[in-house]
Amino acid sequence: MTASCPMKPVIEVRDLHFSYADGTLALDGVNFTLYPGETVALLGANGSGKTTFALQLNGILQGAGSIEVCGLPVIKENLPAIRSKIGMVFQDSDEQLFMPTVLEDVAFGPLNQGCNPDEAVARAGATLQQVGMEHALSKAPYHLSAGEKRKVALAGVLAMRPEILVLDEPTTFLDPPAQHNLLHLLQDLPQAKLIVTHDMMFARALGRRAAFFERGKLVADGPIDEIIGRFQWDYSAFDAALRYSAQRRL
């Protein structure tokens, strides 16, 4: 599993604009770069454009501007290749685990990549072992806890051997033990990671860089502690946060 993109950015976004069908402006001139092996936390208020931004990267939403993933522009012809390079873990695991059993779900990605059934099953087994869920092969997702579903979702994405992982609020619904479990799993993975999150401890534990979204604009990009401090984005400065909200009239 060699990195095929040496020190060139794995993601390069220039002047990205996007509006929803009803006219709401969701992204307003976003510029962003991600390097191999980096972990960046995407921070910002709800509705500030973080998830919309993430969905642009693998072409699920299409905006105006330029996006390149491992050098490939995000256009229709490149989507199959790009979706192999970017693995996305969605916020709602029930939407992500749409197959009847764990094995079938994790094998879904490899099958779409052209693996034959035996290869797909082998890869699925291997990644399930990697996340510690090999015992759940024939279980229905309905019977799994939130943490287990999250791990299976991650396995389903890892089975496609991506170079970049995008995780949308991965700690939602997870209790602290499950959060720790997920944290350790992610720390061991070599891929570049983009993590949309409101959990500052989680973000800090995984990476040193953060990008802050505000009303569709990427207004800050730098060391995570600095960003958190500047925007008062955690409870350590609760009073300050209250003052901040009053100032911003949120």
Partner 1 sequence: MHHVLIDHWSQGSSPLHARDPRAKILVLLIFLIVLATTPANAFVTLVIDIAVLTSGVLLAGLPPVGLFLRAAAILPFSLTFALITWLAGDLWRAVGLVEKSYLSTAAVLLLVGTTPLTRLLGALEALGVPRVLVLLAQFLYRYLFVISEQAQHLRLAAACRGGSAGPPRSRLQAAAGAIAVLFARSYYRAEGIHRAMLARGFGGRLSLLNPLRFGARDAAFTATIGLLLVLARVQ
Least Å distance, CB 61 to partner 1, is 9
Least Å distance, CB 181 to partner 1, is 22
Q: Which is nearer to partner 1, 19 or 101 (CB)?
A: 101
CB atoms within 10 A of CB 6: 7
Q: Which is nearer to partner 1, 111 or 220 (CB)?
A: 111
Least Å distance, CB 114 to partner 1, is 9
CA distances to 55, 70, 97, 219 from 243, in Å: 33, 42, 41, 20
CA distances to 62, 149, 192 from 36, in Å: 24, 27, 5
Q: Which is nearer to partner 1, 19 or 91 (CB)?
A: 91
CA distances to 35, 166, 180, 221, 238 from 191, in Å: 10, 10, 19, 20, 34
CB atoms within 10 A of CB 219: 15
Q: Which is nearer to partner 1, 186 or 227 (CB)?
A: 186
Site of interaction with partner 1 (CB under 8 A): 55, 58-60, 80, 83-84, 86-88, 90, 92, 94-96, 98-101, 103-104, 107-109, 111-113, 117, 120-121, 138, 140-142, 156-157, 160
Residue identified by tokens 């024939």 is 138
Residue identified by tokens 């921070």 is 43
Residue identified by tokens 């092996």 is 37
Q: Which is nearer to partner 1, 15 or 92 (CB)?
A: 92
Least Å distance, CB 111 to partner 1, is 5
Which amino acid is it at 144? L
Least Å distance, CB 163 to partner 1, is 14
Least Å distance, CB 113 to partner 1, is 6
CB 70 within 8 A of CB 5: yes
Tokens of 245: 């909200």
Least Å distance, CB 42 to partner 1, is 17
Helix, strand, coil abundance in the chain, percent, nearest 5: 45, 25, 35
Q: Which is nearer to partner 1, 59 or 216 (CB)?
A: 59
d(CA 53, CA 62): 10
Across-strand partners of 86? 164
Q: Which is nearer to partner 1, 123 or 233 (CB)?
A: 123
